[in-house]
Structure 1
């Protein structure tokens, strides 16, 4: 059953980047092949774990939180970070009336690669009447890191979803600067089996030197994408645009097909974290009781 995690299929255009010269290779070193799959169901306001599989270095924890009707799932990467040549596969399935928030234990760090990219593939499935919040903490990318990350989401009519991914290009407070590497970040969202939104973010060695241009990232070192799917999209969009005006970061929202797309950006990771916390707190109150606020692990 654990091997089912390797059935994920990242989009074809996320091919391996050309490797820099040198004799040392990532394939000659010990690399992680982690996987985790969890299935949750909900009946009568109670969400329970129906199935869970995990393979080191990935562990899936479900802490008990008093007074919460939703279930919080915490992804733990016991390797302490991601290196070139690693492969991590995560699958979350929310069925029936499940209310689930998924996060991780800390910011994920992607370290310098020798010649191979790390691959992270996430698959989310949200059935009718289920509510799922995918709210990981930030991914910090170090200089000369190489990462291919793919998010595949399968939605059904009647489901509700918030999904967030955010990248920090070096830690500004420590004087870190990212001037080379390879980042490919892709999204594919399907509703009732039909593709409704696709997106790709790609940085390569020859692009990093141009990122300061106004048409690219300008001064932004921290960027993110938040997706919302659910009822009353027009009202939700108006609410998100009002919230955006109060944030300590740049934020804009629009509707594409059947989903709301929110882009966020800041000059450093701390500002983006504050902005996202405020956004989730305010938007979570708008959505009412459920899994859509700030995860508890963000404060640990």
Structure 2
């Protein structure tokens, strides 16, 4: 039996949002099962919220999901998902997730999905492509949890490839990649690699006043009950976070987003409401 012999998901979601002043509206929506896009009304919210739902309940080998978000004009948008995404054991083929974010003019976008949980022998290839215009503002987060500590799960084999490509005005300004294979998982607990950390993520910020905001993030990092470090790479702030389990990392990320969101002011930056549902 191979993954190709089984029924597999081919889901997609695309949303275009535009904004004038404090009003953001949905201009275009496309969705293909098992992906659905929801737009909950948030009382007193200063941004439009988009919630991605994977109706299949998880991702298996051979699945393909494509997500695209475009923010134009003065749109203020926060995008998250309904719950943690789960990557299940594969037979022989990886699941593929491609995320494309485009932030135009002076739009502000927060891409803040909940955790991606990787089970033993899962196979996943994920690519995040971001196109920015010089006047835009962005926070983008992706984070992985290698098994659920509370359930005694451990990941000792599989394949994880997680890549980023970020462009500003069409020019590549940052590229990053993580690749874990069966051979690597056997060495993963070495201090030079993940050591004791089973949950790790990357957060990037693009916007004005980078030096001041880097100082703010580094001050927040000192108060977190997880490992956190931040630096400037070209036109971006890059933040790495890690913890011994997913719950600790989520608590740390909540504090980081709450405090950094206050620094950035009203808008889409902060903890998405779906994180508390």
Partner of 2:61: 84
Return 5+ residue gaps in structure 2 as ranges: none
**Cα distance between partner residues in 2 of 1:276 and 1:112:** 27
**TM-score normalised by the chain length of structure 1:** 0.92
What secondary structure is seen at the aligned counterpart in 2 of 1:79?
Answer: coil
Q: CA–CA distance in 2 between the matches of 1:77 and 1:103? A: 12
Residue equivalent to 1:147:
124
Which of 148, 156, 171 lines up with 1:171 in the alignment? 148
Question: How many pairs are equivalent?
Answer: 277
Separation in 2, partners of 1:185, 1:236: 26
- The answer for the alignment partner of 2:215 in structure 1 is 238
Question: What are the residue-to-residue correspondences of 1:66-81 with 2, within 5 Å?
Answer: 66-81=43-58
Equivalent residue for 2:104? 127
TM (normalized to structure 2)? 1.00
Alignment-derived partner of residue 222 in structure 1: 199
Query: Could you tell me which residue of structure 1 aligns to residue 244 of structure 2?
Result: 267
User: What is the rounded CA distance, in whole Å, between the counterparts of 2:21 and 2:254 in structure 1?
Assistant: 29
Residues 109-135 of structure 1, C-alpha deviations (whole Å, 9 max, x = no match) = 000000000000000000011000000
* Secondary structure of 1:81 counterpart: coil
What is the aligned-residue RMSD (CA, Å)? 0.4
The structural deviation recorded for 1:95 is 0.1
| Alpha-carbon contact 1:47-1:69 (below 8 Å) kept | no
Q: What SS does structure 1 have at the residue aligned with 2:195? A: coil
Tell whether the 8 Å contact from 1:224 to 1:264 is kept in structure 2 after alignment. Answer: yes
CA contact (8 A) 1:166 1:222 kept: yes
Partner-residue secondary structure (3-state), 1:102: strand
What secondary structure does 1:51 align onto? strand
2: CA distance, partners of 1:105 / 1:253: 28
- State yes or no: 1:62 paired with 2:23: no
Q: Which residue of 1 aligns with 2:115?
A: 138
Q: Write out per-residue CA displacement over residues 181-200 of structure 1, whole angstroms, 9 at most, x where no aligned residue.
A: 00000000000000000000
CA apart distance, 1:44:
2.0
Other-structure match for 1:295: 272
Whether the 8 Å contact between 1:280 and 1:292 is mirrored in structure 2 is yes
Runs of 4+ in 1 over 4 A off after TM superposition: none
- Please give the alpha-carbon distance, in whole angstroms, between the structure 2 residues aligned to 1:94 and 1:184: 27
For 1:28, the equivalent position in structure 2 comes to: 5
Q: Give how far 1:283 is off.
A: 0.1
> Given the alignment of the two structures, is residue 48 of structure 1 paired with residue 25 of structure 2, yes or no?
yes
Distance apart, 1:43 and its partner CA: 0.8
